Each structure stands twice: as C-alpha cells, then as structure tokens.
C-alpha cells in the first residue's frame, strides 16, 4: 500500500471513529418519546436524581453510522478464515438468527403462567432431548450460561453427590496440565484443590501418573477430550475405569465435542458429566465474546443433583420445576443464574440441530477432522508439528521452525493478519513451546484451506530467509497496528472522562 | 448439507493428500468400543422451510407479551427496543467475531465495550465497570465473593428485598466455599433491619434498588453503617432504566453495583441471555472479576483499545483467578450500549419519567378496587400489591391469563413456603403499557375480585 497521509486520518473505507462521548450534542435524541407528565415526587421518596448522568446525546443517523464504522474494524467469520484453535469459529447459519426473532419466541417473559409458554418449554425440552440423544447421557442441566459456567455446574453436582453419600472429604481434583484455565478456576469455586497431572511425550494424559494420584480423597478428574492438543485421549476407557474404581467421577470438558458429535457417544467413554458449548459445537454466534450457553449432561448418578430450574413432562404438557419440592427425588445443588437458561441461544442451537440432523452432524465432525488433518498434511514439512498425526479437529504446531529466525509465534500471527486471515490460537496449550493451534472447522472449503496453506508456507520461507524486521512491524494494514498492552495495564484508562482520553 | 462446502470429490482429493484411504482412519485413536456407526436413532437434517415451520409451530403455542395487556416485571422488564438496535446487532462483523484477543482486527468490539464500560459506570454512579458478566444474578454472586476477597471476611448478608434468583444464585456460588451467605426473610413491607445486623465480621450487605417488591429507599444510612464496620455495600439493580430518574447507588455510597442490563436493547427472550453489569470503585479494580477493556496507544501513537488487567483472570491465574468467567455477554452489551446511545441523557430521563408516571397512573386506577393495597410507599415502575380478602394471587393470575391478560407475577411463585405472601402480586408498568391495557386489567380485576 502506498504510504499516503490523508488530512482527515481516514484511509478510504477505513474511517476513524470517535467515541460516542465525543459526538454528543445535548438535547439530540435517537428515539421519539412523548413528553412525560411532571414527576410525582411523592412516589419517589425524595430520591429523584439530583445531577445529570453524563450520557451523550446522539441522533439515530449518527448512531447508525457509529456502529457501522465500528463493525468495519472487526474481523468475523463472515469476513474470512478464522482458524482460532479451541474456539470453533465456524459458519453461523442465518436461519438460526431468523427463527430466534419470531415474536412468539422472543417476546415472552420467563414468569408468564406456564400455560402461556408451552412452546418455549418445548424448545428447551426438544434441545435437551437432542443433546441427551447425541451424547447418550440420561440427564442434562440446561441453565449454565457458558462453558466455564457448565464446568462449575458439573463440579457442583459432583460435590453435592459426594456430600450426600458421606464422601464430603473428597476434595482433590485431578486436572491435566494441558487443560483450559477455566478448569482449575471452576474447581476452586467448588472448594476443591487442584492437583495437576502431567502429559506424556505424545501429548496425552499420563495414565500412570493419573492412577498414582487417584485416592479416596479425589472427587473427580477433569479431562478435555479430544484434548487441547487436538488429540483423542486413546486411553480414555482405562482412565474412566480407574477413576470409577477409586470412587471418583469423570468430568469431561466438552469444549472439543465438535470433533466427535454424531460419531461417538460420550456415555460410551465412561463420562459422568460434560458441558457442551452451544456456541461451538452447535454454531451459535460468538458475538464478540458471548453470550454462549453451556448445558451440562449428567449420568444417572448425578442427575438428582441438577440445578433448578428444569423442564419435566407432566400429563399432556411440560412443566417447569422451579423449586426442589415440586419434583419427587430432586436434590438440586442450587441455582446457577437468573431465569431459565440462555433461551435465545437455545433457539439458535436447536435450529442448527434440526437443520443438520444426526447425519449432518456426523458429516460435520468428520469434515472438521478431515480439514484439520488436511492443514496438518499441508504444513507439517514447513512448520513443526508438535505430535504425530492424525489429529482430531485441530492441529498443533510449536515454534521450533522459527528457531534462530528472530521471529516469534506472535510475529508470525500478526503477519497473517496483513494477509487477510485471522490468526490461529497462540501460546496455548501451555504444554508445547510457542504453540500455534489451528482449528479450520468443517465449514471451510478446500480452496480456502489451500489459500491459507500457501500463505503460511510462503511466510515460513520468508521468516527463515531473515525478514524478522518485516514480521516485527506487522500488522501494517489494519485500523490499528500493534497496541501497547503494557501501557494499558500499567496506567489503566478504563473509561472515558471529559478531557482526559486524548484524540481519536 | 448447505453449511458444508465439500463435495465427495473434494473429500477424496483431501484424503489422498493426507495419505489415508478413508476418514475412519483419522478416528483410529477412538477406542473401537466407542466408535458408533448407526445407533443414534435421531432424525435426519431438514431444509430451511421445514425448520422454520417447526419453530413457527412452537411459537404459536405461546401467548407473546405483545399480544396481551402485560404487567410482568419481577426482574425483567418489557421495553420498546428501537429498530436500529437489532438491525446493527445483526451485522456479521459484530455477530461472528470472537472475544477480541487480536486487538488490531477487533477495534470495533473493543471500542464499543469501552463505551459500554463508561456508560455502566456513569449510570451506576461508580468509577469503573467491567465489560459485562452473564446476568444480574451471577454478577450479584460475583460481587458478594469479591467483597469477601476485599474485606478478607466471610459473612455475606442478603436483604429480603433481593431478587430470589439473585439470592439463590449467590447462595449456590458460596455453598461449598468458606463463605457464608445469610438470606433474610422476604420483605414486602420494607421492615427488615439490616443496619442492626452489620458487624465486624460482615464482608458485605447485598440489597436491591428498587427492591424486588418495587420499593425504593435511601441507602445512605445503610452505606454508612457498612463502612463504619469495614463492610462493603453491594447494590443490585434489576431495572437500570430507573437510574434515569432516581439517585444512583454510587451517589448513596455503594461500593459495588451490579445490574441486569436486559431492560435496554435486548427484549425479554424468555429470560436469557441476560447481561450482567458490574461496577465498582477504582481502588477495587484489581479485585474485580470479568473482562476489562482499556485504552492504550498503537505502534504509530494512535489511540486504541485492548483487553487489559488480565492477570486477574483464569487463563493466567488458573485456580487463583478472581473468577472462572471466560466470556462475557459481548453482543448483549452491544445491544445495551446501542439502545442507551439512542436514548442518551435526554432520552433515558424521558423514558424513566414516563415509566414512573405510568406506574403512578396504574396505582391510581387500582384504587378503584376496594381492599387492594399497594405495598411500597415509593417505587419506580413496579410495585407489590396485597389482594383484598387474602385472595390467592397465583389463582388470580391464571384466571386472568385465561382471559388473555398477563397480570403480573404472584409472589408465591418465588416463595412457595410463605403462606403470608399468597395474596401478594407484583405489577409493573412500562412505556409499552397503554391506557387501554390498564383499563382492561382493572376491569378484569374488578370483575374477578
């Protein structure tokens, strides 16, 4: 790109955009509301606001332009290839968005009489039916709001079950070193202590080490399968067997369930509970970081401890159980959030499931694994693959191929941005050095993968040819170049304040 | 399948490039015993028309709020969402982006979250806010845990005016920790004595404002009592529109303010997803859970935004993190901030005043019903009433629903073990309530009671 300085700072379609607070003109308004009658101060108990809030006033055209311009500074799946490992950035169907906006589904209050929301309860119940059917698990807690929330929910059920059986002394949780950071954090929230389990040289749980750590104070193990290296835990049945023999439960982190959905039933792996990220496996939008949903399937042993509320079949209708005493045998460990779960996310996930069907989902997981292995095959002679194939839905490389080039994993990723790709996940999992974790997903075509492979190969050659300075300068073609994160953390500026945020 | 681009020819060519005969060879690491072939017994995929029909049928089994005189609140409020909000929310660059880990290609998300944090701080009267939590209830639980961390104390006191879902979620979060949450009895009359219970072991007192039964009261004496004992005051706001009209919790001495943001931008959605607002004082920022966006400079010295202070978070601190939360409610925060941008200072003030006026008008009309008593002396857009003659509110609500009127929520839905609350009904009025809706409610009540 020619080095052109513009008067405005804008660069063609890349337009600078001020904060809303810098665009205010007091008295402007973006909605039409009638002038309210004088306030009945009596009914405000003397608590009428005494000073202005400080919100900016904008018109609708300003607002529309503001958010349109902001959107143009974002990279999404709709923009291009997004091989962010462990995040499952696959196509988000637009049918899901359409049906999630049907007034008969969105304009419902969770506290309407249950007779008036039978269709909504049917959405929850139908999704639950599918998730149980696909995993082969007998029960499910629908309300967790995200993956980490589902983890915590599963661990709470485990803790409640142990307590109920007089096994409350079981407080130790075995977590492999390659686990997501949420695993140990969720365990700590349940009053558990975390005992890390090392990985073997082939990227899997060290079964001997795990067995040696099992004992009558172990509440459960938490194993991600397929794991965060993109590998199936080959000894999974042995791990499950040893865990159960020790009186502990097997919590499976379902973050990578998309690799096996429709091909493998979780119940056949000896799992006692697993959360499902609807925003990954079932393709609901990530939305720039939420909302997600983390329904958690449970074994028969753990089922009675599922949190409130839940839907049951009752006569010819569906009934929402909101209190323990409303359902015989229920021993809920509590409530995990307000209301009845991430309903808007449920609709989208169910639309995806009904569209795909069991056959479509089997094809999806198959193509996801095919695509990851295709990337691995196309790159393993120029990058350094951390483990021998085959991989599952994602492939892992480390930074040995960058040795002595002066280029880091981070530099390499930033260079990919200039090439029009979203980078892969970097520096995770922690078990390999300078990790580059690539998850192509099943919705990418062969042409897209070929294009990406060609670019990565060319960049690897460039790095080895001694172009470190060019990598350090990347990205150069983005709305902003590398941002100073140290400055942000050392001198936190976490909000706008009049006159103190500098220029746009 | 329309979402899967590969043809069979593609698959064959790719398998050849990988060097395997068939895809099953890629799944060899799965134990044979767990390799299902055809035992799922679940339906096959369907086209767009069939799926749309299935949802239209399910939608038709509901009575949607817009089709009925509607007075339900109890923590979630039906407001009109301007058309521009949903239109912009649907832009793929917002909808299909991940958490903004790569700031160079995520300035859109990062800037709106920075603006959202500023709006949340201003609205609550606090100094700093995070980029959102799952919902009001989980934000409330996180606030209680944070207060315990800040004060190094274990005792959490939950007001009887706190939303029962917030109370239960907080109780569940601390259930197996060393913290102890004491929940006071439901308090529709506003008679509980919180000040007398605050002592040197108290980490925090959690109150709702306006409270679950609609009441608003001055929190300054309680804040003073908390601070005198070294405890924090946590204030939960379920209806942030109220803050356009009434004093902010921050101005009354709150240390942490959490809120449910659903009221702005999002519609009802049967209660989920929600949007947790979380705001506090600058001095506590490093104890705050959740993602935070901060301002910085790029390599060329231009202003930009990044995720910051992440050493509090689970991906760095693992079991020592301030919370296990990973995502926030990014898209819901976008809906909230867009709606609030359209409203602005002028519009929010007007919307809040309108809501209050309509609730006052509803109260006036309800006076025609002999024996019905409005419980709170001061309220915003919702209040609890005691029905005449101890009538069962749950039965009444069912009766009116059969007539096509969604007449509030019976308190017994939340407090089944409290017979004295059987006649208590919660009624809310927002700008979506018309004069005709109110007249329909009052006339049906007159007939039935």
Q: How far is CA B52 from the centre of its chain?
A: 29
Backbone angles phi, psi at B326, to 5 degrees: -120, -60
Give CA–CA dist B89/B331, Å, rounded: 7
Beta strand ranges found along B212-317 (DSSP E): 232-237, 256-260, 276-280, 293-297, 303-307
Closest CB from A54, A236, A377 relative to B122: A54
CATH code: domain of residue A232: 3.40.640.10
Lowest mean pLDDT among A37-41, A66-70, B285-289: A37-41
How far lies A402's CA from each of A190, A428, A439, B246, B428, in Å? 41, 17, 21, 59, 63
Kindly state the average pLDDT of the residues A187-197. 94
DSSP secondary structure, B290-340, as one string: S--EEEEEBTTS-EEEEE--GGGSHHHHGGGSS-------HHHHHHHHHHH
How many C-beta atoms surround the C-beta of residue B398 within 10 A? 16
Q: Which residues of B touch A344 (CB under 8 A)?
A: 269-270, 272-273
Q: Which residues of B touch A27 (CB under 8 A)?
A: 346
How near does any CA of chain B get to the CA of A404, in Å? 25
Domains and CATH numbers, chain B: 65-80+344-448 (3.90.1150.10), 83-339 (3.40.640.10)
pLDDT tens track for A345-402: 999 999 999 999 999 999 999 999 999 999 999 999 999 999 988 999 999 999 999 9
Q: What are the tokens at B292?
A: 């935070």
Give CA–CA dist B334/B266, Å, rounded: 10
pLDDT band at B186 (very low <50, low <70, confident <90, very high): very high
Q: Which of A9, A10, A150, A337 to mutate to test the interface with B (most CBs of B within 10 A)?
A: A337
Among A320, A352, A384, the domain boundary falls at A352
Q: What are the tokens at B334?
A: 């976008």
Q: Which of B112, B134, B260 to mutate to test the interface with A (most CBs of A within 10 A)?
A: B134
What residue of A is the nearest CA neighbor of B13?
A446
Q: Which residues of A touch B41 (CB under 8 A)?
A: 133
Do A421 and A81 touch, CB atoms closer than 8 A?
A: yes
pLDDT band at B403 (very low <50, low <70, confident <90, very high): very high
Q: Does the residue A338 lie in any domain? A: yes
Helix, strand, coil % over all residues of chain B, rounded to 5: 45, 15, 40
Q: Which domain holds residue A386?
A: 358-489
What percentage of chain B reaches a pLDDT higher than 90? 92
DSSP A35: P
DSSP secondary structure, B325-379, as one string: -----HHHHHHHHHHHHHHHHHHHHHHHHHHHHHHHHHHHHHTTSTT-EE--SSB
Among A352, A381, A397, the domain boundary falls at A352
Do A156 and B324 touch, CB atoms closer than 8 A?
A: no
Asked if residue A378 and residue A230 are part of one domain, the reply reads no
Kindly state the average pLDDT of the residues B36-53. 88
Nearest to B220 by CA among B198, B195, B237: B195
Q: Does the residue A418 lie in any domain? A: yes
Q: How many CB pairs under 8 A join A and B?
A: 703
Whether residues A72 and B108 touch (CB distance < 8 A) is answered with yes
Look at residue A483 and give its three-state secondary structure: strand
pLDDT band at B95 (very low <50, low <70, confident <90, very high): very high
Angle at B313 between CA A282 and CA B183, to 5 degrees: 85
What residue of B is the nearest CA neighbor of A142?
B272
Do A154 and A123 touch, CB atoms closer than 8 A?
A: no
pLDDT tens track for B417-436: 999 999 999 999 999 999 99
Kindly state the average pLDDT of the residues B125-131. 98
How near does any CA of chain B get to the CA of A242, in Å? 16
Give CA–CA dist A443/A83, Å, rounded: 11
Q: Which residues of B touch A412 (CB under 8 A)?
A: none
Do A354 and B91 touch, CB atoms closer than 8 A?
A: no
Kindly state the average pLDDT of the residues A436-454. 98
pLDDT above 60: residue A448: yes
- Cβ neighbors of A175 (< 8 A, separation 6 or more) are A183, A184, A187, A194, A195, A196, A197, A221, A222
pLDDT above 80: residue B38: no
Give CA–CA dist A231/A373, Å, rounded: 11
Mean pLDDT of chain A: 95
Whether residues A45 and B320 touch (CB distance < 8 A) is answered with no
How near does any CA of chain B get to the CA of A69, in Å? 8
* pLDDT of B14: 98
* pLDDT of B36: 67
Q: Which long-range contacts (CB under 8 A, 24 or more apart) does A7-12 make?
A: A9/A504
Asked if residue A427 and residue A317 are part of one domain, the reply reads no
* pLDDT of A279: 96
Whether residues B129 and A495 touch (CB distance < 8 A) is answered with yes
Asked if residue A346 and residue A320 are part of one domain, the reply reads yes
Q: Which residues of A touch B163 (CB under 8 A)?
A: 338
Nearest to B248 by CA among B219, B212, B205: B219
Whether residues B97 and A75 touch (CB distance < 8 A) is answered with yes
* pLDDT of B270: 98
* pLDDT of B33: 87
Would the ipTM clear 0.90, i.e. be above it?
A: yes
pLDDT tens track for A310-339: 999 998 899 999 999 999 999 999 999 999
Q: How far is CA B352 from the centre of its chain?
A: 18
b/e per residue A164-193 (b: at least 16 CB within 10 A): eeebeebbbbbbbebbbbbbbbbbbbbbbe
Look at residue B383 and give its three-state secondary structure: strand
Do A382 and A460 touch, CB atoms closer than 8 A?
A: yes
Q: Report the DSSP pairing between strands B409-410 and B424-428.
A: antiparallel
Closest CB from A21, A110, A371 relative to B118: A21
Length of chain B equals 449
Q: Which residues of A touch B32 (CB under 8 A)?
A: none
Do A53 and B123 touch, CB atoms closer than 8 A?
A: yes
Q: Does the residue A3 lie in any domain? A: no
Kindly state the average pLDDT of the residues A147-153. 96
Asked if residue A196 and residue A229 are part of one domain, the reply reads yes
How far lies B319's CA from each of A122, A189, A196, B159, B316, in Å? 38, 8, 11, 30, 9
Among A334, A352, A370, the domain boundary falls at A352
Q: Does the residue A198 lie in any domain? A: yes
Look at residue A297 and give its three-state secondary structure: strand
How many C-beta atoms surround the C-beta of residue B99 within 10 A? 21
Asked if residue A330 and residue A216 are part of one domain, the reply reads yes
- Cβ neighbors of A458 (< 8 A, separation 6 or more) are none
Domain count, chain A: 2
Mean pLDDT of chain B: 96
Q: Which residues of B touch A501 (CB under 8 A)?
A: 295, 303
Whether residues B345 and A373 touch (CB distance < 8 A) is answered with no
Q: Which residues of A touch B320 (CB under 8 A)?
A: 188
Whether residues A367 and B11 touch (CB distance < 8 A) is answered with yes
How near does any CA of chain B get to the CA of A233, in Å? 7
Place of tokens 């705050």: B288
Q: Does the residue A332 lie in any domain? A: yes
Do A389 and A376 touch, CB atoms closer than 8 A?
A: yes
Q: Does the residue A189 lie in any domain? A: yes
How far lies A139's CA from each of B349, B383, B404, in Å? 47, 39, 35
Q: What are the tokens at A123?
A: 């959405």
Q: Three-class SS string for A162-230?
A: HHHCCCCCCCEEEEECCCCCHHHHHHHHCCCEEEEECECCCCCECHHHHHHHCCCCEEEEEEECCCCCC
Q: Which residues of B touch A181 (CB under 8 A)?
A: 313-318, 321, 326
Whether residues A355 and B20 touch (CB distance < 8 A) is answered with no
pLDDT band at B313 (very low <50, low <70, confident <90, very high): confident
Asked if residue A341 and residue A194 are part of one domain, the reply reads yes
Give CA–CA dist B232/A447, Å, rounded: 58
What residue of A is the nearest CA neighbor of B178?
A191
pLDDT above 90: residue A181: no
Q: What are the tokens at A464?
A: 């080895």
Asked if residue A255 and residue A200 are part of one domain, the reply reads yes
Do B405 and B68 touch, CB atoms closer than 8 A?
A: yes
Q: Which residues of B touch A502 (CB under 8 A)?
A: 295, 303
How near does any CA of chain B get to the CA of A72, in Å? 7
Backbone angles phi, psi at B385, to 5 degrees: -125, 150
* pLDDT of A195: 96
pLDDT above 90: residue A114: yes
Closest CB from A262, A371, A478 relative to B105: A478
DSSP A404: T
Q: Does the residue A51 lie in any domain? A: no
Give CA–CA dist B68/B408, Å, rounded: 12
Asked if residue A160 and residue A104 are part of one domain, the reply reads yes
Asked if residue A369 and residue A334 are part of one domain, the reply reads no
Q: Three-class SS string for A298-323?
A: ECCCCHHHCCECEEEEECCEEEEECC
CATH code: domain of residue A444: 3.90.1150.10
Asked if residue A321 and residue A348 are part of one domain, the reply reads yes
Q: How far is CA A225 from the centre of its chain?
A: 16
Length of chain A equals 504
Kindly state the average pLDDT of the residues A60-82. 98
Query: Most distant CA pair in chain A: distance in Å?
Result: 78
Q: Which residues of A touch B64 (CB under 8 A)?
A: 103-104, 106-108
Whether residues B51 and A286 touch (CB distance < 8 A) is answered with no
Kindly state the average pLDDT of the residues B167-189. 97
Q: Does the residue A236 lie in any domain? A: yes
pLDDT above 90: residue A479: yes
Residue A5 CB burial class (10 angstroms; 0-12, 13-18, ≥19): exposed
Whether residues B318 and A44 touch (CB distance < 8 A) is answered with no
Asked if residue A401 and residue A437 are part of one domain, the reply reads yes
Asked if residue A376 and residue A339 are part of one domain, the reply reads no
pLDDT band at A2 (very low <50, low <70, confident <90, very high): low
């Amino acid at each position: 790109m020619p080095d052109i300085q513009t008067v405005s700072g804008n660069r063609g379609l890349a337009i600078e955009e001020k904060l809303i607070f810098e665009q205010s003109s007091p008295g402007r308004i973006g909605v039409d509301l009638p002038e309210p009658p004088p306030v009945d101060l009596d009914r405000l108990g003397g608590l009428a606001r005494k000073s202005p809030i400080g919100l900016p006033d904008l018109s609708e055209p300003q607002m529309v332009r503001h958010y349109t311009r902001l959107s143009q500074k974002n990279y999404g799946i709709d923009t291009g290839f997004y091989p962010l490992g462990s995040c499952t950035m696959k196509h988000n169907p637009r049918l899901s968005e359409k049906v999630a906006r049907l007034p008969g589904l969105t304009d419902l209050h969770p506290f309407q009489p249950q007779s008036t929301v039978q269709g909504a309860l049917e959405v929850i119940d139908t999704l639950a039916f599918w998730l149980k059917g696909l995993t082969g698990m007998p029960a499910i807690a629908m309300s967790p709001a995200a993956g980490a929330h589902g983890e915590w929910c599963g661990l709470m059920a485990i803790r409640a079950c142990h307590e109920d059986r007089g096994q409350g002394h079981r407080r130790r949780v075995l977590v492999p070193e390659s686990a997501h950071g949420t695993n140990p954090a969720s365990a700590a929230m349940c009053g558990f202590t975390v005992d890390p389990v090392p990985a073997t040289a082939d990227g899997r749980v060290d079964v001997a080490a795990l067995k040696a750590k099992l004992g009558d104070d172990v509440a459960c193990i938490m194993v991600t399968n397929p794991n965060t290296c993109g590998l199936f835990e080959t000894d999974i049945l042995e791990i499950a067997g040893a865990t159960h023999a020790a009186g502990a439960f097997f919590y499976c982190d379902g973050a990578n369930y998309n690799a096996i959905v429709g091909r493998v039933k979780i119940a056949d792996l000896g799992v006692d509970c697993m959360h499902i990220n609807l925003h990954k496996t079932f393709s609901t939008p990530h939305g720039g970081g939420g909302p997600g949903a983390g329904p958690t399937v449970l074994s028969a042993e753990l089922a009675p401890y599922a949190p409130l509320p839940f839907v049951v079949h009752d006569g010819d209708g569906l009934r929402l159980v909101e209190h323990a005493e409303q359902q015989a045998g229920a021993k809920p460990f509590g409530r995990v959030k307000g209301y009845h779960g991430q309903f808007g996310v449920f609709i989208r996930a169910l639309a995806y499931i009904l569209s795909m069907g069991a056959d479509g989902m089997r094809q999806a997981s198959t193509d996801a694994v095919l695509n990851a292995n295709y990337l691995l095959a196309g790159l393993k002679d120029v990058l350094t693959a951390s483990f021998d194939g085959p991989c599952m839905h994602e492939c892992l490389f480390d930074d040995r191929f960058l040795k002595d080039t002066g280029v880091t994993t981070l530099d390499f990723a930033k260079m990919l941005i200039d090439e029009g790709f979203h980078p892969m996940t970097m520096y995770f999992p922690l078990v390999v050095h300078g990790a580059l974790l690539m998850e192509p997903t099943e919705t990418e075509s062969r042409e897209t993968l070929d294009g990406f492979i060609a670019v990565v190969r060319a960049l690897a050659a460039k790095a080895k040819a001694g172009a470190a300075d060019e990598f350090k300068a990347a990205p150069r073609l983005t709305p902003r170049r590398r941002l100073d994160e140290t400055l942000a953390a050392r001198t936190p500026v976490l909000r706008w304040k009049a006159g103190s945020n500098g220029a746009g | 399948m329309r979402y899967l681009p590969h043809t069979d020819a593609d698959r064959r060519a790719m398998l050849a490039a990988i060097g395997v005969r068939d895809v099953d060879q890629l799944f060899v690491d799965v134990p044979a015993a767990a390799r299902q072939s055809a035992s799922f017994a679940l339906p096959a995929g369907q086209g767009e028309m069939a799926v749309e029909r299935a949802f239209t049928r399910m939608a038709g089994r509901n009575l949607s709020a817009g089709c009925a005189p509607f007075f339900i609140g109890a923590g979630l409020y039906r407001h009109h969402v301007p058309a521009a909000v949903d239109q912009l929310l649907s832009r793929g660059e917002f909808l299909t982006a991940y958490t903004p880990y790569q700031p160079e290609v995520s300035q859109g998300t990062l800037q709106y979250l920075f603006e959202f944090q500023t709006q949340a701080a201003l609205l609550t009267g606090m100094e700093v806010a995070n980029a959102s939590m799952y919902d009001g209830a989980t934000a409330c639980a996180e606030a209680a845990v944070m207060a315990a961390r800040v004060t190094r104390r274990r005792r959490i006191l939950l007001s009887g005016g706190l939303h029962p879902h917030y109370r239960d979620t907080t109780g569940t979060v601390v259930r197996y920790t060393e913290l102890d949450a004491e929940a006071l009895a439901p308090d529709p009359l506003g008679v509980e004595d919180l000040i007398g219970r605050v002592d040197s072991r108290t980490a925090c007192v959690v109150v709702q404002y306006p409270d679950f039964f609609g009441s608003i009261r001055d929190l300054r004496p309680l804040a003073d009592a908390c601070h005198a004992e070294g405890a924090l005051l946590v204030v939960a706001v379920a209806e942030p529109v109220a803050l356009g009209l009434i004093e902010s919790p921050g101005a009354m001495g709150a240390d942490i303010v959490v809120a449910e943001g659903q009221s702005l931008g999002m519609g009802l959605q049967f209660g989920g997803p929600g949007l947790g607002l979380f705001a506090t004082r600058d001095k506590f920022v490093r104890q705050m859970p959740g993602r935070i966006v901060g301002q910085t400079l790029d390599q060329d010295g231009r202003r930009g935004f990044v995720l910051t202070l992440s050493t509090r978070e689970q991906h760095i601190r693992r079991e020592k993190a301030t919370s296990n939360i990973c995502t926030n409610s990014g898209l819901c925060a976008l809906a909230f901030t867009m709606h609030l941008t359209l409203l602005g200072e002028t519009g929010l003030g007007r919307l809040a005043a309108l809501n209050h006026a309509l609730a006052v008008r509803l109260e006036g009309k309800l006076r025609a019903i002999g024996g019905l008593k409005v419980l709170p002396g001061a309220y915003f857009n919702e209040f609890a009433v005691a029905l005449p003659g101890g009538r069962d509110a749950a039965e009444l609500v069912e009766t009116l629903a059969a007539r096509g009127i969604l007449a509030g929520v019976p308190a017994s839905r939340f407090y089944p073990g409290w017979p004295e609350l059987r006649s208590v009904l919660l009624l809310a009025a927002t700008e979506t309530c018309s004069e005709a809706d109110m007249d329909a409610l009052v006339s049906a009540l007159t007939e039935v009671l």
